[in-house]
Amino acid sequence: MYNNKKKLIPVATYENNAWTKVSTAMDQVQDMMYGSAFKGTINGGYGVRIQYPDKTKEELSVSCGSNCSNYEAEAFAIEAHVFQLTSVFSLYPEKTQNIVIFSDSKSVLEALQNENLQNSSLKSLFLKRDSLLKTYNVDLTLQSLWIPSHCNITGNERADILAKKGSTAQQQNTTTSFRTAQQIIRNNSTEEWLNGWTTGKTGRSPFTYMATPNPKDIINSLERRDQVIISACVHIMLRLMPI
């Protein structure tokens, strides 16, 4: 497989002054991107703002599925950006420059850098990015920069608006990943429980989702302090267990 490690600059962060150093450089294509989904899983959309060294700009605003997580929308945004630049560089070779990706999704950037491709959207993104770097082996490098969201960074705020616009566009029924399906089930279960608790006239609504307390349970023979410790451990284990 083509080795592009030398062409990839490690993920930098806003806090170590990388933003100041990178954003003021002129000989690079700078790209802001943002992904958004209602309740984190419904009606996903992404926005991309591309700025070329000559100050010309491009903007993309696209829906990405009725069942799409924020994580996947962020990955789709970067993939769309890579695809767009591949097309532009092919049609206008004079625009070929080093690329800096600005994103507020550190998890996507790090997964891409570490080649953690368990998610199908990341696999597709990785292949497109690898193809771009392979095509311009000598003339192009790519840097990823994490920036915080909603901190009045002009380009990122614009990408956020574009993402929300994309999420309100007509959605298609796309294949849902296992990870997103888990998240949807978890969100629906939580919402159902909260609605039952809010609208219930008694405090017994939780028993729909849990067994009735057993007065003969051996845990009742323990001291209160030990019962609390066991209960806390069980709670942590349940949170860590996949659905």
Q: How does pLDDT run across 203-233, given as a tens digit for each residue?
A: 666 666 666 667 788 888 888 888 888 888 8
Query: Which pLDDT value is given to residue 124?
Result: 84
Helix ranges (DSSP H) in the chain: 18-23, 70-91, 106-113, 120-135, 154-167, 178-199, 224-240
pTM: 0.67
| Location of structure tokens 């017994």 | 204
Residue 46 belongs to a domain with what CATH number?
Answer: 3.30.420.10
pLDDT tens for 177-201 read 778 888 888 888 877 777 777 776 6
In this predicted structure, the answer to whether residue 98 has a pLDDT above a threshold of 50 is yes
Percent of the chain exceeding pLDDT 70 equals: 77
Same domain, 12 and 29: yes
Return the half-sphere exposure (C-beta side, CA atoms, 13 A cut-off) of residue 193: 11
Instruction: For residues 133 and 109, state if they share a domain.
Output: yes
Q: Which residues of 63-76 are buried (b: 16+ CB within 10 A; e: fewer)?
A: bbbbbbbbbbbbbb
* Whether residues 22 and 10 fall in one domain: yes
Boundaries of domain holding 68: 5-176
At 208 the pLDDT is 64
Q: Is the pLDDT of residue 164 over 70?
A: yes
Among the candidates 176, 195, 224, a domain finishes at 176
Output the pLDDT for position 13. Answer: 46
Q: Are residues 122 and 208 in the same domain?
A: no
Residue 237 confidence class, pLDDT cut points 50, 70, 90: confident
Same structural domain for residues 72 and 168? yes
Specify whether 22 is located in the same domain as 107.
yes
Determine which helix (DSSP H) or strand (DSSP E) holds 142, and give its type and residue range: strand 142-146
* Residue finishing a domain among 176, 199, 224: 176
Same domain for 106 and 9? yes
Say if residue 109 is in the same domain as residue 132: yes
Confidence of residue 8 (pLDDT cuts 50, 70, 90): very low
What is the C-alpha separation between 9 and 115, in angstroms, rounded?
A: 14
**169 and 220 within one domain:** no
**Do 106 and 213 share a structural domain?**
no
| 103 plus 34 within the same structural domain | yes
| pLDDT exceeds cutoff 60 at 163 | yes
At 3, the pLDDT band (50, 70, 90 cuts) reads: very low
In whole angstroms, what is the distance from residue 63 CA to residue 171 CA? 6
Total domains in the fold of the chain = 2
Could you tell me if 168 and 188 lie in one domain?
Answer: no
Last residue in a domain, options 120, 142, 176:
176
